[in-house]
Every structure is written in C-alpha cells, then in structure tokens.
Structure 1
Amino acid sequence: MPERIALSYKNCSEKFTQSPDYKKQYCSIYLSRLKDMEPLLVGRIQRKWGDQYPICQLHKLTEQTYDKVIVIGTLFKDQKLKPSVLKRLAEGNQLMPQPLLTHFTDESDALYMEDEVQRYQILNLDHLKLVTGITCALLGSDVGKGKFQVNDFVFASFRTQIDRPVFTRATYVLFLSGLDFTHQEKHSVNLQLLTYWIGGLLGDSERVSQVCRVIIAGNSISTEPTKAKTTISMVSKVNDAPDSIEAVEAFDEFLLHLCQLVDVDVMPGQYDPSNHILPQKPMHFCMYPQSAQYKSFNQVSNPYKCQIGGLSFTGTSGQPIKDIMRFSEVTDSLEALQCCLEWNHLAPTAPDTLGCFPFYQNDPFIIEECPHVFFAGNQEKFASKMVQGDDNQEVCLISLPEFSQTHQGVLLNLESLICHTVSFETK
C-alpha cells in the first residue's frame, strides 16, 4: 500500500476538559450564557434593524410605553409532558403512573423569555422548532399581564469562520460511531472487515492510503444503558457488569490494530465509561493499556473540536441533537445541527433536560468559531449537506449512523467536503 498521508493536527477542546466548581447552582450557566451572547445579539440587531427600535431589559418594560421594542433573553419552553423527578418518585410509590414517551411536545406547550430578574410569556412566536435555553432577541410590544407580542426575532447565527485551506489532492477522514463492543458478537465480522480495509488488505489501497485520521464518535462500548434493578431510590447503583469489562478489553484490542495503521481520535459517548453529564472528559488511558502506548491513539472529549490540516472540526457523540429532537418538532438530525449553528450553541437544552456541569463563569457550549465540519454521532442514519451563513460561511453537516446497526462508516473528502458511506456489510 502507498505511504499514508499525514496532516497537521491540533486538539482545540481545552474548554471542554476544565474542572468545574460543583458548589455552584445551575442558574449561573443561564446567566453566563446570556452575558456572553448579548454582545453577539446586539450586533445582529444592528445588522437587521439598525437603530430603528430601542433595546430594553425585560424588567423595565413596564416603566415606559413603547410602540415597538427589542428585548434580549433566554427562552424557556413550558412542557407538561417533560419528564419530572417528582413524577418519577410518585410513580415509584404508585401514586401517579407516567406514560412511557420518547417525544415530549404538546399543543399546550407555552414559551417564555427570561433574563436576570424577569420572565414574560411570549406570544406569536412558533415554538414547535424551539427548545429551552436558546438566547435570542425579540422585536415586539408589551401587551400587559406579563405577556410580550412578537413581530420579529433574531438569533446569534453563524460565527466568523477561518479561511478554508486548499488541498492539492483528495484526503479523507473516516468517521465511526456506535461500535457497541458489548454486543460485538453480532457484528464482529464487520469490525474485522473495517480493520482489513483500513490496512489496505481489501483492495482500493490508493484511496485507503489517503485516509489520514479516524474519528470514533462515542458509544464504542455500548449503545444502550446498563439495566438496573427496579427501585424507588433516585441513587440506585449499577455495578460494572462482566460484559462491560470484556467489551473494554475487546475495544482496546480493536484500537491496537487500528492505531498501528492510522491516527485515531476516540470520543466518549452516552453509554461509555466516562462521566455521564456534558462535557464528557476523555476516557481514562488505563482502560486501554495496549492502544494507549501508541502516539496515534488520542482520547478526546465530547464535545470535540480540532483542526486537521487547517480544516476546523466540531462535533458531539449525538446527545444534544437527540435531545433537541425529543423536545421540539425538529425531526431531522441535519436540521438540528443547523439549528445549533443558528442558535450559536452546541447544547441549548443543557442543563434543563440534558445533564451538564454547573458552569458559572462561562458557558463552554457557546460556539466561538464557525467550523468547516459539524458532525453528530449515533444517529439513525447517514445524512450530509452543505449550509451557508450570512457571511458566506460554508459548513458541512454530517449525521453519523450507528455502526452496530448499519455497518457503515462515513468518509469525508477534505478537498471537496463531500462525504459518503463506506459499507462493511457481509453478503
């Protein structure tokens, strides 16, 4: 096989690996989010409406009468179907059974806007494609009784983007997700085919040599939670099952072969042995004693941000995208990814319905720089499209399928930003 292409690499995920202060309250993250996003929204307001309308804080709306005014705040979506700890405890005590739901929108959902001290109910703004935690600016008027009538709105939208590098030849990054080594017996042959292919043993050696990196986007150990015994306690303990330990050992063996061939970035996922809440820190190297000896083995965080050959990548193992689709009428993972760019936030539903650390000085999930490639792992199927921002930012959105279900990887051409699946299905 021809010599493999090597490109420069930089891990830019430092803000996702810092240790937070556990003594703080979760309200602080919304305050820091609003503080950081407000200057961006003021810039968007100037761009869209100029100085035509005054900007007013929510708690000062009643102090003066405005025909039309702009307010800035964080959206809160009141949903009666939203899971509740109190309801779960009541169900455990057989007081009030809850229906098993995977989607929590309802026609009775109501939208509110909050700032540091005030909350207003929002009227005339379609909440179907919105979720709790979005920071935005609304143009409208106070109609009394704590209600605000909306005429128009604006989000922070796409951030500035570094210049896209020029590649003189086709160069590829291979994405994988949902390897599920707990149930590897169901697709062990497909994993073996993957290893053979990346080693150039199945032909197509010219293209394989152009694969400079493999990014594994979460749920490598399992794609489903470990089952616990039924209990009414909210702190039930689940011991490590022998299956999980064997799965980690098998994954280490798989990575050992892979790291001898190409650089590999391993992100933790929802059901991997890492902290459960976001951001997930890199999995500990002691779990992978064989592969951790190689410099080509990189344990990275979730979310993950890096530069490969000057091309900017940002992505998650899929939890924020799935949560957005659970609590809104966004049904397509690519649409959810695009919404995150429009809202300028990687995980807007955290900490409301998606667990995260109680950050108080800054919100690490705010997108500070528009990536060239924005991906989400562990989705139902592969999909990809190019989207464009107002300042001609071009972003390749990629929905990565679970390998354990589809036996597919995704190959991205860095030269053209065109991607397609590579199937390791056996016939």
Structure 2
Amino acid sequence: METVDDSLLSTPTHRDSQNPKFLTRQSTTYNSYDEDFRVKERTYTQQYAGLYFSRLVILRKRVLNAAIARWGTGESRFLSRIQSFPETNARSEAPTPHVPRVLDVQTAEVCFVVGTVYVDMPLKPNILDEVTAEHWIVAPPPREKYTSENDEVVLEDESGRLKLTGKVLRNHILVTGVIAAFLGVESNSGEFEVIDVCYASWDPQPPIPTTADDKYVAFVSGLSVGEDSAFDLRLQLLVDFLAGELGGSEDQSVNSKFARVVFAGNSVAKLKPLEDDKKGGGSKNKYGTESISYNTEPLQLLDTLLASTSSSVDIDVMPGDTDPANCSLPQQPIHFAILPNASRHSSVNHCTNPHSFEADGVRFLGTSGQTLDDIYRFVETDDRLEMAQRTVKWAHLAPTAPDTLYCYPYKDTDPFVIKHLPHVYFVGNQPAFETSMTKVSGGQTRVILVPSFATTGCIALLNLRTLECMPVYFKNLPNLD
C-alpha cells in the first residue's frame, strides 16, 4: 500500500488563498423614522386649508429667527439698496422691523414679512376651467413647463395677500407653498419691492460618528421590472453585484461592505391589461361592471429579485409612482401580500415615501421623485440638482402639495416639513446621476439624484464614513448574432 503524502492535505500556497473564501457582510445600526409619514386614520372630509395653515405655523418661527439674524441688525449691504428707493424711511442705526401681518405693511416703510408664497401662473392647469370648457373641444397636449412672463408672485398669511415684485425674485426659485421671509419696501402702487429673501433656520446638525471602516449604502430606483424583456440581464447583474457574487476577490471584498440597499420607488413597470381585456373581453363582476385582468408576472419577478437580494443584505423598499400603492403622498408601504417571498425575510423593510431612517448615526431622508418632478414643471430652470438643494433650504419636501401634487388632507400637521437637517437627502427616478454638498446654517447635506435604472443602468453608492457618493453603471453585453 502506498503512503499518501501529507502535503495533499495542507493549505494551498496559491496567492488567492491569502484572501478569505467567505467574507462577512458589514452591518449597521438602523432606526426608521417613517412613523411620521404613516396615515393612521384616513378621512377625507376636511379641506386642504388646514395643511397650509399648519405649514405656516410650524415654519414661521424658524423663518423669523433666520430673518432676524440676517436683517435685524440693519446690515449695510441691504441698507444701501434700501436707501436707493425714493421716499423710503430707513435709518442705518435702526434694526429692520418685522411686520407680523402682510396687510399691516406701510407704504415707504422698510420692513420684512413672513408668509406662504403663491405663484399665480396663467398656464397652470385649472380643474374648474376643464369642467366648464366645451366638451367637444379637444384638450391641448400637456406642457412640460407652465412658466410664462405673466407669472406673479404673491405672499399670503392669515390676514391677506401682498404682491411681490423686484429683480431679486429672478435669482430665487420659488413655487407655491414655500414659507419664506421677504425684506423690502411697499411702493405707492401697493406692490412690495423685494430686496432680499430668507428661508428657515436649522438647529445644529449632529456630527457623523467617526469610524475607521468603510460601509456603503446603495440607492437603486426605477427598476421598472416587466417593461422590457431584454432588460433582465442587467437586473441579474445588479442582483449578483449586490450579493457579492460578481467579479474577483477584490470586488467581493468591496461588495461585502454594502450594509443596506434602498430601492427608491418605481420598482415595477405600470401594470397593463391583458390583451383579451383590451379588446373588451373582460368578465362582469357582481356589481355588473366589467372587470379587467392585469399581468402579474412583473410583480412576481420583482418579488423574486427582492427575495434574492435580501438573502445577503438588508433592503428598504419604497413605493413609487408606478408601484402598487396609494398615489397620494405620503405613499404607504407596499403591502406584504404583494411581495410574499421577499416579505418572509426579516432583512426586508417595507417603507413609506418619503422615507426617513438612520444608519450608524447618519440621518437619511428621501423620496421616490414625485416631489421634484412636480417642482420641475413650475420653475424656469432645468437644473434638477438645484431644485433638490432648494427643498433643503426651504425645509420642506413637497411645497407644491396639495396645490398640484396629490397628498393626504392633513388637518393639524404637515409631515413634509423637514424638522431635522439630514446628512443625506436622496431623490429617486431622476434622468441622470448628480450629487453635491449643500451648506445651510445648521450644517451640510449630501444631496443625491438617483437615476432610473431602467433608463441609465446606474445606481448610487454612498460611503457612510465620508459621505462621498459615486455612480456604478451596468450595461448589457453586445449582441453577438
């Protein structure tokens, strides 16, 4: 009998053996703050006026504090512009007075007022005009933008309205629903000539905990599962990448540092009726109306995808505009029964839209994109990153709700007010990846525009230690036929 060499059972000397075969997935402490966005009792008997009133009450003190800090001492850089107006009563040694009510503003008196912005736009759709219009007239195609030279900016509070004018307004992005303070002088015509604009103040932002290890949070939006069959390859590449099964040992070492994945809305394409139902072949239900059947394969594919991803990493699933959830903000979590396989995993977190959470002491806040898409229609600029930065400075996620954006008619509160300055603010389903660091009085926020994966094949990775953000692109293999 031959003796077996013991070296056959020894540790391989290949250079890859220096790396561990199985890496440990990084984890983080996690706290969800979605409770503020959950609707406990759904009643729709109240008017939307209570939402505007609550927004003004909540933000007025913060805006007033910022205005006093900015103008209360009568800074010379503003006084020189004030004194250039004729018939203006301004003294360099006196602080700028605050007028509590817009109707109490006196002509030629320097002051500042706080209120809710309303932008009167003639091109904005009006439901009353649509109802009273002749039925046989073909409706015009929807506009991409509703801005025009005839737009007027008005400031209002509980007492009334005050028309705002001035070249300074051109340098500020303003939409209906923003709470702000305006410094200026009322002219003889009754218009308030604006000299400067001020938004809400912030409490000091807590610092990011100091850590030695890199950990990443991945942001994915706009999967649109079921939209294109040729898209499945990129989906599989994404799942393998997040699971750490793509690339060599060095790539897997980096992928093991993915602590959480946030799916920011539009994970499934819009459900379409089956071909038979399109032709009028739907069956009658018990009410005598025709019921339509929809193809549920995209939901089943999404369920499989999320279950596979959640088996190796914690995930947050946010609803979006095309997902099976309520259409009005805040959107409630996707029901567990819609994703039965993924919901069995404790690593799956069904979230609201907007979504707020904390990971390793880093505070996150974000939406699935409807808020920014609505703002885009009512401003002249096409710079979506600047619009996202403005929402942070306004301290409000959705100022255009409920004017042009569907939302629940809150009576005594406004959950879209940003109470605490987040370290990271993300917006999903945007045309392209963009990021910047926005500085305000209380600290700074990393703003991230997460692109639609179905359109760009791109996801965003955020380093929790440094708040640096980078894109990762996935591309289909070329057709070799």
The alignment's TM-score, normalised by the length of structure 2, stands at 0.82
* RMSD between aligned residues: 2.3
> d(CA) in 2 for partners of 1:201 and 1:147?
64
Tell me the SS of whatever aligns to 1:195. helix
Which of 163, 173, 179 is residue 121 of structure 1 equivalent to?
163
Letter in 1 for 2:204: T
Quote the residue 1:412 is aligned against: 462
Contact 2:117 2:178 in 1 (8 A): yes
Relative to 1, partners in 2 of residues 1:256 and 1:117: Cα closer, same or farther, differing over 3 Å? same
Please state how far the C-alpha of 1:46 moved relative to its aligned partner: 1.8
> d(CA) in 1 for partners of 2:196 and 2:149?
22
Contact 1:58 1:120 in 2 (8 A): no
Relative to 1, partners in 2 of residues 1:153 and 1:199: Cα closer, same or farther, differing over 3 Å? closer
Contact 1:142 1:148 in 2 (8 A): yes
Tell me the SS of whatever aligns to 1:290. helix
Relative to 1, partners in 2 of residues 1:238 and 1:299: Cα closer, same or farther, differing over 3 Å? farther
Quote the residue 2:372 is aligned against: 321
Does 2:277 correspond to 1:222? no
Letter in 2 for 1:276: C
Which of 28, 35, 42 is residue 14 of structure 1 equivalent to?
35
**Mean Cα deviation higher: 170-179 or 194-203:** 194-203
Trace 1:108-257 onto structure 2 (pairs within 5 A).
108-124=150-166, 125-126=168-169, 129-144=173-188, 146-203=190-247, 204-222=251-269, 241-243=293-295, 245-257=296-308
> d(CA) in 2 for partners of 1:142 and 1:263?
56
> d(CA) in 2 for partners of 1:150 and 1:225?
50
Does 2:419 correspond to 1:385? no
Relative to 1, partners in 2 of residues 1:224 and 1:263: Cα closer, same or farther, differing over 3 Å? same
Please state how far the C-alpha of 1:158 moved relative to its aligned partner: 4.7
Tell me the SS of whatever aligns to 1:197. helix
> d(CA) in 1 for partners of 2:179 and 2:291?
40
Post-superposition Cα deviations, 1:317-373, rounded to whole Å, max 9, x if no partner, equal: 011111111100232221111100111100111111111111121111010001111
Quote the residue 1:25 is aligned against: 47
Quote the residue 1:234 is aligned against: none
Please state how far the C-alpha of 1:12 moved relative to its aligned partner: 0.9
Please state how far the C-alpha of 1:303 moved relative to its aligned partner: 0.4
> d(CA) in 1 for partners of 2:317 and 2:115?
36
Higher-Rg structure is 2
How many percent identity over aligned positions?
A: 35
Does 2:152 correspond to 1:102? no
Quote the residue 1:362 is aligned against: 413
Relative to 1, partners in 2 of residues 1:259 and 1:138: Cα closer, same or farther, differing over 3 Å? same
Does 2:328 correspond to 1:306? no
Does 2:127 correspond to 1:80? no
Please state how far the C-alpha of 1:199 moved relative to its aligned partner: 2.2
Letter in 1 for 2:317: V
Please state how far the C-alpha of 1:221 moved relative to its aligned partner: 1.2
**Structure 1 gaps, min length 5:** 230-236
Letter in 2 for 1:361: D
> d(CA) in 1 for partners of 2:26 and 2:137?
62
Quote the residue 1:233 is aligned against: none
> d(CA) in 2 for partners of 1:77 and 1:415?
41
> d(CA) in 1 for partners of 2:130 and 2:446?
40
Quote the residue 2:26 is aligned against: 5
Relative to 1, partners in 2 of residues 1:394 and 1:282: Cα closer, same or farther, differing over 3 Å? same
Please state how far the C-alpha of 1:87 moved relative to its aligned partner: 3.6
Please state how far the C-alpha of 1:147 moved relative to its aligned partner: 2.3
Quote the residue 1:232 is aligned against: none
Please state how far the C-alpha of 1:289 moved relative to its aligned partner: 0.9
Post-superposition Cα deviations, 1:235-272, rounded to whole Å, max 9, x if no partner, equal: xx9976523x2211111111110110110100000111
Post-superposition Cα deviations, 1:62-88, rounded to whole Å, max 9, x if no partner, equal: 6x5562121111000011111122343
Please state how far the C-alpha of 1:18 moved relative to its aligned partner: 2.8
The alignment's TM-score, normalised by the length of structure 1, stands at 0.92
> d(CA) in 2 for partners of 1:335 and 1:92?
40
Please state how far the C-alpha of 1:423 moved relative to its aligned partner: 1.9
Post-superposition Cα deviations, 1:69-109, rounded to whole Å, max 9, x if no partner, equal: 21111000011111122343456713463243111111111
